[in-house]
Amino acid sequence: MKTLKWMTVLATILLCAISCGAKQEAQKALVLYYSQTSNTKAVAEEIATRLGADIEEIVATTPYDGDFQATIARCMQEREQGVKPEIQPLKSDLAAYDVVFIGFPVWFGTYAPPVAALLEQVDLKGKKVVPFCTFGSGGLESSVKDMVAKQPEAEFLPGYGVRAARMAAMPQEVDQFLKAGGFLDGDYTQLGEFPEQQPVSESESAIFDAAVGDYPMIHAQAKTVAQRTIPGGVEYLFTAVDIPREGAPNMPQAGEMKVYVIVVNGEAPVFTRVVR
């Protein structure tokens, strides 16, 4: 519950792109991104293509080119030692841009270390900054919080995040996101607010379980839910709590979480992000 107040405030900022997107004046944009598995690169290229923006990759001098476990081990060691990886100097002159999109995969609940290194080296004062990310379950909100702390004099605009398991939905979502944020002309879907949370019914609990059941990092039980209509279906916002794992009774519980689930056109339920 300690982070609930911050999460509520941040969610209001993030959802502003849907509720109050106004046409932006013509501004020069740069898309910066770090990508290891190509997912974030795909989002970056989609944004740059749609906007006709310049694009540049953030490159670690010593690449994170091992397998998943090797990457995790290196990242943990760097975190424990308080060091950040060296990155190659940017070729782009940030002073020439009004808007900077910054993309990254979420590792350990925040932006990947090469982006942390970038934020230590650049001054984004007065720039409009638009974060975007890819993740296994979530992390946009916590990443934006960390970014704001590092670059407090930048103007952070609503961000976009997508699960790696949902990359097929990304192009359409990016289109809607950019239109809602005023970066592109065109119609976009303005979603209604979620109503007040209510205790979950048996059928709603089944929807939650179906959405998260095959994802190993979530072992939780839905307690309350709210829902709203989206194009072609329904979106649910569940409040859930972690439950003990069999064979690991001493594993500390992470507490309460918000889980967004969509059910579209009779398809199976799928969660889109988790906010802890």
pLDDT of residue 244: 80
The answer to whether residue 56 is domain-embedded is yes
What CATH number does the domain containing 98 carry? 3.40.50.360
Q: Any idea of the CA torsion for 60, 81, 140, 56, to the nearest 10 degrees?
A: -10
| Alpha-helix residue ranges (DSSP H) falling in the chain | 4-19, 39-51, 68-81, 113-121, 140-150, 170-180, 202-212
Residue type, 221: Q
Assess whether 83 and 176 both reside in one domain: yes
* Domain count along the chain: 2
Residues 155 and 59 in one domain: yes
pLDDT tens sequence across 42-51 = 999 999 999 9
Give yes or no: residues 253 and 167 share one domain.
no
- Domain boundary residue among 123, 147, 180? 180
Looking at residue 70, what is its pLDDT?
A: 87
| Residue 138: partners with Cβ closer than 8 Å, 6 or more residues away | 106, 161, 273, 274, 275, 276
Give the Cα separation of 169 and 163 in Å (integer).
Answer: 10
Spatial neighbors of 8 by CB under 8 A, at least 6 apart, are none
| Regions of the chain where pLDDT drops below 70 | 1-25, 246-254
Domain of 202 in residue numbering reads as 198-275
* One domain, residues 215 and 261: yes
Q: Is residue 24 part of a domain?
A: no
**23 within a domain of the structure (yes/no):** no
CA distance 42 to 34: 11
| pLDDT tens digits, 49-89 | 999 999 999 999 999 877 788 888 998 888 888 889 999 99
pLDDT for position 7: 41
Q: Which pLDDT score is estimated for 25? A: 57
